[in-house]
Structure 1
Amino acid sequence: YQAYDRELERQVALKLIRSDLAANPEILKRFKQELILARQITHKNVIRIFDLGQADGFKFITMDYIEGEDLQSLLRRKKKLEPAEAANIIAQTCRALEAAHAEGVIHRDLKPQNIMLDKRGRAYVMDFGIARSTLAPGMTQTGALIGTPDYMSPEQAKGQTLDARSDLFSVGIIFYEMLAGQTPFLADTTMGKLWKRTNELARPLGELDKTIPPTLCEIVRRCLEIDPHKRFASAAELLQQIEVWQGPKAGTRVLVQRVGGLPAYVKWAGTGLAVALVAAGFFLRSKLGTRLAAPHAPVSLLIADFDNKTGDPVFDGTLEPMLGIALEGAPFISSYNRGQAKKVAARIQPGASHMEAALAQLVAVREGVNAVVAGSIQKERSGYKVYVTTLDPATGRALLKEESDASNKQDVLAAAGKLAERIRKGLGDTTPESAQKSAAETFTAGSLEAAHQYAVGQDLQQSGKWTDAINAYGQAAKSDPDLGRAYAGTAAMYANLGKNQEAEKYYQLALERIDRMTDREKYRTRSGYYLLMHNQAKAIEELSALVSQYPADTAGHANLALAYFYGRNMSKTLEEQKRAMEITPHSLLQRVNYAMYALYAEDFDTAAKEAQSILNENPKFDQALRTLALAELGRGHNEEARQNYKKLQGVGAYGASIASTGLADLELYEGRLTEAAAILERAIADDRAAKDEEAAADRTATLALTELARGKTSEAVSAAG
């Protein structure tokens, strides 16, 4: 019933307790005990219970009133839901369960009738603690059959002791029903349904409907494992997998949980890892190459900014990425990410606008890059001349010197391709000449202007200016409509921005032009497309082939680690990231990625050790400071975590922002709600001053929950409003 609570001055939902239960003092006592516990759950996806009352001989419970319908009603109307809608409802259900399980509350009777949906699409879980409250006097949880048979876990059907994983089985049944339009354990009788779930695996969703995304099929399959140990370990782990499928617009937050129970609210935004991986080349910093990997030790090269002596701006930044593409025609060569190199250069020499050869050498020494390639282009009476020198970064000694002539502008790219071929041979490339010429055909763009715009796009991409990069790649494609790498770059940028439909469109355009790409670029384009479509198996297949043919491809190994990470195969994730580190052992970027992966794998000692070693070299590396703080928290070293967050506060605006979240979490963890609220209020003010409304909104939601936990309802409502 809908009612008005005069004390709370709000509309509430009122549930009557059956008369046979209300007449039993022991059951009423249990109701009160369970409801007191359930009232501790404060979360935006939980319908909060207010009171157990009595009027005119009726016992009742009052709770939040939601204007909408329950999930059962929605399924009766639609029969089944689109995957995105179903995933959204399950994600919100998982967030509710995460909050409840952190308080030690298991639902025990999760079903579509207990999930309410409002008009905005928000899901609310209700009736926590009520199922167990109806146990007869003297009956313990063990041996009791409590819950709705259609949605019970196997251990619940057997009357065994339950933990949080029982709720996850129920989630799996609900998810299955939303996607398939039917429950997984069909039988004519209740006992038949219970027998099936305790003895038979559910029929795979993919057999019922091949249009259901394979990733969601796998998530549901794991939820429905008969053995609780084979299911997801927690609602947080299940939520993380759903959010990975939903993509970057899902507002993901990643839970890091230590053995012994790190609290549910110790969360951190997963963007730190994503940013580091973007810099590693995840979003397809397009490069070209050829087949026939040679048994040669890996060689990493950093291309310095060329000296453009022609006065023509079309050559500004144009030759560097194209030369890198051509040099990677050798399977043992990897071109160090120039965007990352420029970030390091800015720390070494603040204010430097040009990464000339001497500065590039310092970067290479610091990052453990084997050689620096420097060059220049100048105008001559007969055309243009391009000079390239390969340098030992430690000594500055010239290892190779090459030059090439071009009769006109359009021939300059071809001249650069010839220089790259000579450098590769000088470094030991034994790729057959026919294969090298085939690669050279795909190296050139249809026009110098297309190559220049593509290079501009690369620079903007590596600077994190994704919208501007899209415009530059668009100009490149306009100048050369068959330049496949320009479409691939556009697709990657849309993926970064969370515009997956646009990303898919441009990947398709790139794939239509894949014949102009060599094998490295083909592998990267296809793997990027498969990652976008949440087809981790195909992405792993493409990236495995890439690193098999090009074992020195650092980005290939790093991206393969990412694909394994998306599939939660942490042992393979760490294995591939180690290989990326072996190729560039001094790369702080690859090392911090490894530390972050160790953190996700709950190997907090390794994460802390690696992060600390990075900080020994660069004490102001924000990603390493955050990783170390979280690793210390995972090890139960709260004070050490606090000190690292305080150091992070002094590392720029971004560092201060993420440090405030960490410090607030610590205060919440230790029960200092007033201090947590104060930190959040200051952080929100800083976010708004910086015009970062997304961060401000995120912290405001946390502040509202904090105020609610303090019993300050009006302040909570004000913050949430």
Structure 2
Amino acid sequence: MPQRDPSVTGFQSADQATGFQAADQATGFQAGTDQATGSLETWDHLASAGGPPAAARRPPTTPAGADSAGSTGPLKPGEAFGSRYHIIRLLGMGGMGAVYQAWDAELGVAVAIKVILPSEDDPTAAAELERRFKRELVLARQVTHKNVVRIHDLGEIDGIKYITMSYIDGADLSTILKREGRLGVAKVLQIARPVVSGLVAAHAAGIVHRDLKPPNIMVDTAGDAVIMDFGIARSTGTPMVDARLLPTGAAGRQHLHLNRTMVGAVIGTVEYMAPEQAKGQAVDQRADIYAFGLMLYDMLAGRHRAETATSALDELKARMVEAPASLRTLVPDIPEPFDRIISRCILPNPADRYQTTGDLEAELNRLDENGELIPIKRVVGMRILAAVVTIAFALLGGSWWYAQTLIPPAQHEPVSVIIADFQNNTSDPTFDRTIEPTLRRGIEDATFVSAYDRGRIRSTFGIQPPDKLDEVAARELAVKQGLGVVVSGSIDTRGNGYEISVKAIQTVTGNEITSATRRASSKEQVPDVVTRLVTTVRTALGDETSDSDQLFAMRSVSATSLGVVQHYAAAVEAQSNGRYEETRQSALKAVELDPKFGIGYQLLAVASRNLGNLDEADKYSKQALTYLDGMTERERYATRGLFYRVTGDYQQCMKEYGEMTARFAGDAIAHNQRALCLSKLRNMREAVEAMRQAVQILPKRATIRGNLAIYAAYAGDFQTADREARAIEEPYDLATLAIAFAQLGQGLLPEAADTYKQLATINARGTSWSASGLGDLALYEGRFSDAARLFEQGAAADLASKSSDRAARKLTSLAYTHLLMGRTGPAVAAAEKALLTSKNIAVQFLAARIFVEAGELAKARTMAEGLAAELPAEPQAYGKIIEGEIALKDGDARQAIKILSDANGILDTWFGHFDLGRAYLEAGGFAQADSEFDRCIGRRGEALSLLVDEEPTYGYFPTAYYYQGRVREGLKSERFAESYREYLNIRGKSTEDPLLPDVRKRAGS
């Protein structure tokens, strides 16, 4: 999670739906906005009767009947507010409350205090205002980001409810726009970038703002922007219920008022409302993207929308039909790339907008400070440079030519190709399925092309190609998988030689892209001729590399003999069908014929690993690295990347696949592998973005989309996880698990239980996950006996099916369950049994944690030393965490803090932050502990599977609320009991949780 930066937090709120507004242009604090709630039909009725009430259009800055000149609200400047706060001045006031600058004597800093004092003649409005007040606190605190408001506390003094935040010296965006009219592109981007960054964090936490607008954006004197007012925000995990239009009691505060937040009602601000929001439909982050786009529009175009519309309601209705006019028609000097981004944000159909703020942020990051695309400088080699210098002496135009070489070429869109089986019209079986791999390796040397022959189809798409994969069958397959090009061909005998033909067609239309025929004088010359045909295909597909350069790059392909290719093709096909011993034997024959055939050793390494021969796999991986020069450029990247991944060097893995995807943007598998390594580094947001790239290339591949769904769940984007998983049509265990995870993250526990049960009907892996998930859900809810029974039964079933690693993970969960029940003996026994079952790193780590908590410190130290001695960062970090836990158990909290901080420096894990929070708590460092537990709670998605291996671990999560309560109790926070109540909401019905008496006592319940 992003780190908290208290220097840029501030205070602003918007509660116009309750008649509350105040503004102070000097400070930029505003409490109130132009919210409107109700149904669109109600608005239509009001419009026909003369328009909506003033509060739904543009509310007054002071309430009816208030003394705008002299009223100071419920608090007086110069007076104390409780024992802690001293009121400095009024920042703004409305009919139901006010905002003040105050001095916090305890912290020794200036703060902002927002207070509410609802009218006694309108109890409904009072209850609604208090609900929103609490909602603003609860939802805003779920997001820890420097560009999202950080609310400190909610309390009550002398009957006055208040919220406190840090004071910001600045102005809200609405005030800035009123003062300056329209802003320049550079200024708009300076504001836009931090706002979208804050939105990404909010959406990752499952929070949709739903009322983004200029008054809710605070800009400090340094120009940094902060998102304010989560009063009507919605957690995507909150079920939505029916709503009705409520009247208010005071005529001076006539406004549209909403009882509940739900589908079928409308809540927000008319001027910045998304069409789907106005229709009362369910909204997600795309509604915030729409409002963000309109803010950019208004910043650049000034008040054009407001000035050209008869009313805000009419303008909204128009936007529901079509997007506002292009900005460039109003302000021609706006760069086209920036205009294109804004135009996409404000399209009426949410499916046509950016689907996530992460996508939007990535697009904005491609622009420079002036809104133009950042050029990617083409690297110019010394030979070219020397040539340019020579030309410069000879020709006056030489410098112009050199300048042109620095203009980056437009990146080619990815092209996906399926290669049909070549028709072998000779009587020589050597040519059966040997031309296709040569063709594929050569075509894929074009950076924008991904090619799939028979051997790759099953491993990539998870389907068995037909026995006869001719052009017709290949085209049908391409249509189903969304591949754009089909390549087919034939080989015939011509005298003493051979004639080889190749043809490429468009999948959908069947139109021919190119065709070519070449002759080989002998069998040995066939690979060389095939690579020359490859240049024809690549050029037709859009490769601008010269034929000679293509042939030079493919020299390793053309130099590979047919015998080697034949065994290589057999190995690839066997591997794709899961016949790993057959893969191994064919690959051995290939490297026997050509000991320098590096990709053959790579196949041997993968096959050996799948057969469980890890030492042999390591040997072959190293041999593959020895012969990189015999591989294509893409194969070299893939070989190194896979080596780093299987050896646990995820940092290098991420870098290698990152360079590969930069060079070969259309390689979906490379994007997938990069995402895997990013997830292991706990960089979930980037993992999601990498998987989005892979899904764009292979939209119908279940494994690819399933990975996107899982990583989205880990990133806390539960809506995306659910949507992407459900987009997979066929039953798929990983997608079903992602749905269960998304339901858990949204608090839909009965639905998650049903989904876990459904998992058991899919396959063996699903059955194992089902047992783990149901046990973990029971553990999460405090049904410890149920959890223990489910884990024991699941482990036994895994052992019976020879799934020792999965069985061991269930045994560690069983051990943790016993530990929570206070049964240390059974906990240690279960942990020891897990270690006897598997030596998996995750099992060692989780078992060692059990030993520490059970007081078996000698065993824990031995395991910590073993983990720390490993080369990869992950086990090293785990070893450090165990060392820190031992120090904490020994009562040395300061040493524990040092060790655990080091562990988090090695690898940023949820466990590391959780234990560091415990250590700070023991040392009395309450503020630091609060930050650590905030991070843990903010990373609830990661808690779904803490070892990032799809094994459910959400049962570890509730304890974070208990420790957060302890910390806030130590900070003397007036609302510390809220954390305890969160724990009680989860496990309060348990009859087996020894922690409950202490929690209830501390919570005062």
TM-score after normalising by structure 2: 0.38
Which residue pairs with 1:300 in the alignment? 416
Q: 2:518 aligns to what SS in structure 1?
A: strand
Matched-pair contact (CA < 8 Å) for 2:535–2:547: no
1:568 paired to 2:679: no
Which residue pairs with 2:719 in the alignment? 605
Which residue pairs with 1:621 in the alignment? 732
* Counterpart code for 1:324: R
Which residue pairs with 2:702 in the alignment? 588
**Matching of residues 323-472 of structure 1 within 5 Å:** 323-336=439-452, 341-342=457-458, 352-379=466-493, 381-472=495-586
The Cα shift of 1:406 comes to: 3.0
The Cα shift of 1:405 comes to: 3.1
Which residue pairs with 1:666 in the alignment? 777
The 2-side partners of 1:363 and 1:351 are apart by 8
The Cα shift of 1:688 comes to: 5.8
Which residue pairs with 2:215 in the alignment? none
Matched-pair contact (CA < 8 Å) for 1:565–1:573: yes
* Counterpart code for 1:607: A
1:548 paired to 2:669: no
The Cα shift of 1:360 comes to: 3.0
1:317 paired to 2:433: yes
Which residue pairs with 2:878 in the alignment? none
Q: 2:727 aligns to what SS in structure 1?
A: helix
Matched-pair contact (CA < 8 Å) for 1:500–1:532: no
The 2-side partners of 1:327 and 1:564 are apart by 28
The 2-side partners of 1:355 and 1:668 are apart by 51
The Cα shift of 1:585 comes to: 3.8
- Residues 707 and 376 from structure 1, CA distance in 2 versus in 1: closer, same or farther, beyond 3 angstroms? farther
The Cα shift of 1:513 comes to: 2.3
The Cα shift of 1:476 comes to: 0.9
- Residues 398 and 566 from structure 1, CA distance in 2 versus in 1: closer, same or farther, beyond 3 angstroms? same
The 2-side partners of 1:529 and 1:523 are apart by 10
1:506 paired to 2:506: no
The Cα shift of 1:549 comes to: 2.9
The 2-side partners of 1:695 and 1:571 are apart by 27
- Residues 381 and 691 from structure 1, CA distance in 2 versus in 1: closer, same or farther, beyond 3 angstroms? farther
The 2-side partners of 1:667 and 1:353 are apart by 48
Matched-pair contact (CA < 8 Å) for 1:346–1:352: no
1:519 paired to 2:633: yes
**Matching of residues 678-697 of structure 1 within 5 Å:** 683=794, 687=798, 690-692=801-803, 695-696=806-807
Q: 2:519 aligns to what SS in structure 1?
A: strand
The Cα shift of 1:546 comes to: 2.7
Higher relative contact order (CA 8 A, sep 6+): 1
- Residues 601 and 404 from structure 1, CA distance in 2 versus in 1: closer, same or farther, beyond 3 angstroms? same
The 2-side partners of 1:351 and 1:315 are apart by 19
The Cα shift of 1:520 comes to: 2.1
1:631-651: CA deviation from partner (whole Å, max 9, x where unpaired) = 212222122212222332222
The 2-side partners of 1:638 and 1:337 are apart by 44
* Structure 1: stretches of 5+ with no match in the other structure: 1-257, 261-290
Matched-pair contact (CA < 8 Å) for 2:491–2:498: yes
**Matching of residues 118-267 of structure 1 within 5 Å:** none
Which residue pairs with 2:767 in the alignment? 656
1:54-88: CA deviation from partner (whole Å, max 9, x where unpaired) = xxxxxxxxxxxxxxxxxxxxxxxxxxxxxxxxxxx
The Cα shift of 1:381 comes to: 4.7
- Residues 573 and 695 from structure 1, CA distance in 2 versus in 1: closer, same or farther, beyond 3 angstroms? closer
The 2-side partners of 1:313 and 1:677 are apart by 59
The Cα shift of 1:345 comes to: 7.5
1:487 paired to 2:601: yes
1:638 paired to 2:754: no
* Counterpart code for 2:548: S
The 2-side partners of 1:364 and 1:351 are apart by 11
The Cα shift of 1:438 comes to: 0.8
The Cα shift of 1:479 comes to: 0.6
- Residues 375 and 678 from structure 1, CA distance in 2 versus in 1: closer, same or farther, beyond 3 angstroms? farther
Q: 2:504 aligns to what SS in structure 1?
A: strand
The Cα shift of 1:473 comes to: 1.9
The Cα shift of 1:675 comes to: 5.2
1:536-583: CA deviation from partner (whole Å, max 9, x where unpaired) = 444444333333333323333333333333332233322322223333
The Cα shift of 1:667 comes to: 3.6
Matched-pair contact (CA < 8 Å) for 1:523–1:543: yes
The 1-side partners of 2:428 and 2:808 are apart by 47
- Residues 378 and 646 from structure 1, CA distance in 2 versus in 1: closer, same or farther, beyond 3 angstroms? farther
* Structure 2: stretches of 5+ with no match in the other structure: 1-235, 239-380, 382-407, 837-1005
Matched-pair contact (CA < 8 Å) for 1:301–1:335: yes
1:330-363: CA deviation from partner (whole Å, max 9, x where unpaired) = 222122485663378876xx89444443343333
Larger-gyration structure (1/2): 2
Q: 1:400 aligns to what SS in structure 2?
A: strand
Give the count of matched residue pairs.
429
1:273-329: CA deviation from partner (whole Å, max 9, x where unpaired) = xxxxxxxxxxxxxxxxxx998732221112233344545443343222221110012
Matched-pair contact (CA < 8 Å) for 1:367–1:588: no
Matched-pair contact (CA < 8 Å) for 2:459–2:576: no
Q: 1:481 aligns to what SS in structure 2?
A: coil
* Counterpart code for 2:444: E
Matched-pair contact (CA < 8 Å) for 1:310–1:378: yes
- Residues 403 and 621 from structure 1, CA distance in 2 versus in 1: closer, same or farther, beyond 3 angstroms? farther
* Counterpart code for 1:405: R
- Residues 564 and 328 from structure 1, CA distance in 2 versus in 1: closer, same or farther, beyond 3 angstroms? same
* Counterpart code for 1:609: R
- Residues 591 and 314 from structure 1, CA distance in 2 versus in 1: closer, same or farther, beyond 3 angstroms? same
* Counterpart code for 1:392: Q
The 1-side partners of 2:617 and 2:439 are apart by 27
* Counterpart code for 2:552: S
The 2-side partners of 1:384 and 1:458 are apart by 26
